[in-house]
């Protein structure tokens, strides 16, 4: 059965445009804003050190194993659907980026998140790790991870309140009070780029955690891991077919 004339003409125009220009899509006529993230699972060595190296993000899409995880990633670890590449039908204007730390996986088979992100861990990682963006042929350092820490409160902690009738600092015998907050990323409150990062359709890229020198995590168990997440908030143009 032959195609209707209007459909056949449309297919012919699309084929001619692809062969003549190398572009299937000529107009990215839809706009939206989205939040993207990618996690890396870090483990310390037998001496309690986090090793040096380049740890690439947005290279393993959901459904595949990688980025330090011993299992296939899900949308909990990343919602990026392409391997270190911008999909052919999308363009991104990245307005701000952030780095956050999450509990690692227990590794006993169910891979649940366990542990607590301590102040020592947060300070050591954020101050010793560089965030960079890598294109096909060059890599650009954006700053220390501490420059992109989240605009949010600590996940949990404790403090010793001073009685209302007391004078001077609290004494150690008083019972600490625990507190907890949502601890989630707050993209709308982060520092916005005056010049955004632009990624066009089909472009090869990755964001990297660069650890120039290994660093020691005092008191960290060598059988535990921690997760570092890099996320970005972007304006996206796309074609209707996506």
Task: Count Cβ atoms below 10 Å from residue 79 Cβ, excluding itself.
Answer: 16
The reported pLDDT for the residue numbered 95 is 85
Specify the range with the lowest mean pLDDT, choosing from 26-35, 41-50, 118-127, 157-166: 157-166
The 3-state secondary structure of 72-136, one letter per residue: ECCCCCECCCCCCECCCCEEEEEEEEEEEEEEEECCCCCCCEECCCCHHHHHHHHHHEEEEEECC
pLDDT tens-digit map of 54-66: 999 999 988 888 8
Domain layout of the chain by residue ranges: 35-150+185-238
The reported pLDDT for the residue numbered 117 is 76
| pLDDT above 90: residue 209 | yes
Compute the average pLDDT of residues 219-223: 69
Task: Count Cβ atoms below 10 Å from residue 81 Cβ, excluding itself.
Answer: 12
Confidence of residue 242 (pLDDT cuts 50, 70, 90): very low
Backbone angles phi, psi at 146, to 5 degrees: -65, -25
The reported pLDDT for the residue numbered 129 is 93
pLDDT tens-digit map of 128-154: 999 999 998 899 999 999 888 776 655
pTM above 0.85, yes or no: no
Q: Enter the tokens of residue 224.
A: 């535990």
> What is the spatial distance between Cα 179 and Cα 184, in angstroms, rounded to a whole number?
15
């Amino acid at each position: 059965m032959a195609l209707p004339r209007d459909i056949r003409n449309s297919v012919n125009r699309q084929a001619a445009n692809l062969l003549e220009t190398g572009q299937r899509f000529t107009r990215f006529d839809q706009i939206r804003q989205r939040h993207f993230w990618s996690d890396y699972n870090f483990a310390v060595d037998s001496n309690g050190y986090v090793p040096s190296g380049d740890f690439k993000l947005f290279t393993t899409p959901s459904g595949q194993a990688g980025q330090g995880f011993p299992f296939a990633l899900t949308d909990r670890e990343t919602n990026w659907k392409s391997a270190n590449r911008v999909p052919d039908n999308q363009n991104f204007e990245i307005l701000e980026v952030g780095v956050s730390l999450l509990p690692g996986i227990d590794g006993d088979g169910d891979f649940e998140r366990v542990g607590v992100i301590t102040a020592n861990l947060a300070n050591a990682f954020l101050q010793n790790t560089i965030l960079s963006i890598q294109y096909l042929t060059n890599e650009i350092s954006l700053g220390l991870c501490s420059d992109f820490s989240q605009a949010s409160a600590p996940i949990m902690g404790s403090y010793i309140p001073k009685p209302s009738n007391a004078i001077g600092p609290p004494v150690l015998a008083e019972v600490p009070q625990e507190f907890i907050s949502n601890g989630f990323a707050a993209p709308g409150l982060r520092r916005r780029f005056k010049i955004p990062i632009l990624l066009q359709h089909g472009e090869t890229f990755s964001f990297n955690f660069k650890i120039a020198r290994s660093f020691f995590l005092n008191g960290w168990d060598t059988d535990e891991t921690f997760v570092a997440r890099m996320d970005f908030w972007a304006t996206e143009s796309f074609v209707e077919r996506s």
